[in-house]
Amino acid sequence: MSNITIDLKRNGSEPLPDNLLGISFLSLPNPDPVLRNIYKKDAYSEILTDSRISSLIEQRVSAIKKKEISVECPNAAVKDKITNWFSSLDFSQIVEDSWQGIYYGFQPIEILWEFGKKYGFLLPNIIRQRKRGDFHYNSEKALVYRLLGKDINLSQGEWAYKVLAVRRKATFDNPYGEPLAARLFWLFAFKRGGYEFWLKMSEKFSQRAMQPFVWAEYRQGASKEEQNAVLEALELIQDTGAAAFPENTKVNWLQIFSV
């Protein structure tokens, strides 16, 4: 087994600085058809506003959290040390951060390492989620982070154990993975679009909208009070079907929809 080299002073125990310069022009674009055609980076995030979908995802995440976690190591003493160390980590939050790699197809997870003096070896101290938009794959299909205008290849050298990429069905042609959300997008879009369509239909062609439109003519030179009285009478007709109008007021019925 080869030795693992991690420079704690450079990149092991310190988090990656925020990416303020965006991704490189040499980055490999995400081939996801939904994201390429919808032109909305948060297209998949909107799906989570659906109560049915979000509840099912919560059930799945909750089931994962209930799974038993075990450490496999041929050395019993080392196994006990690692088990004790991992018991101090917040695995519930790690699952919350990692499952998005299944939902979005790709999720970077940063590891902050620490030298455990009483254990005698390096162990992950913090495992946390990082923003997906700050990472990309280059033409060699290597995970890259843009730092101070320079691309850092996170798959080689001392950076190789800094960031993990949780992915779903990643291939050589598509290292970004296949998002589970891609299978839900059009179902969600048609469901939401259907609600909007029927809402507009009900507004236009409901029983109330099919009633004749009532309008009135008041005498020329009528005061503001008289005009308001006519308007109130028209509103009463719509609500109760009966109203009293001032003298010499002409009332008309306009049928706007007929079968």
The C-alpha atoms of residue 96 and residue 142 are separated, in whole angstroms, by 25
Could you tell me if residue 222 is inside a domain? yes
The C-alpha atoms of residue 194 and residue 201 are separated, in whole angstroms, by 10
pLDDT digits (tens, 9 = 90+) for 42-98: 778 888 888 888 888 889 888 888 888 888 888 888 888 888 888 888 888 888 888
Could you tell me if residue 40 is inside a domain? yes
Q: Give yes or no for a contact between 98 and 107, defined as CB atoms under 8 angstroms apart.
A: yes
The predicted pLDDT at position 231 comes to: 78
Could you tell me if residue 110 is inside a domain? yes
Reading the block at residue 245, the tokens are 């109008």
Are 110 and 214 in the same domain? no
pLDDT digits (tens, 9 = 90+) for 103-155: 888 899 998 888 777 777 788 888 888 888 888 888 888 888 877 777 888 87
Are 183 and 241 in the same domain? no
pLDDT digits (tens, 9 = 90+) for 173-182: 888 888 888 8
C-alpha count within 13 angstroms, C-beta hemisphere, residue 95: 16
Could you tell me if residue 35 is inside a domain? yes
Q: Provide the residue range defining the domain that includes 212.
A: 206-254
Among 7-21, 38-52, 193-207, which stretch is predicted with the lowest mean pLDDT?
7-21
Could you tell me if residue 198 is inside a domain? no
**Which of 190, 218, 239 corresponds to the end of one domain?**
190
Are 175 and 216 in the same domain? no
Q: Tell me, what DSSP letter sits at residue 237?
A: H
Could you tell me if residue 29 is inside a domain? yes
Are 105 and 42 in the same domain? yes
Q: Give yes or no for a contact between 135 and 143, defined as CB atoms under 8 angstroms apart.
A: yes
Could you tell me if residue 197 is inside a domain? no
The predicted pLDDT at position 207 comes to: 56
Q: Which residue has the tokens 């299978």?
A: 183
Q: What is the mean pLDDT of residues 32-46?
A: 66
**Which of 190, 221, 239 corresponds to the end of one domain?**
190
Could you tell me if residue 244 is inside a domain? yes
Are 135 and 166 in the same domain? yes
Nearest to 144 by CA among 9, 232, 16: 16
Query: From the CB of residue 179, how many other CB atoms can be counted at a distance below 10 Å?
Result: 24
Q: How many domains is the chain built from?
A: 2
The C-alpha atoms of residue 106 and residue 167 are separated, in whole angstroms, by 4
Residues in the chain: 259
Predicted structure pTM score: 0.61
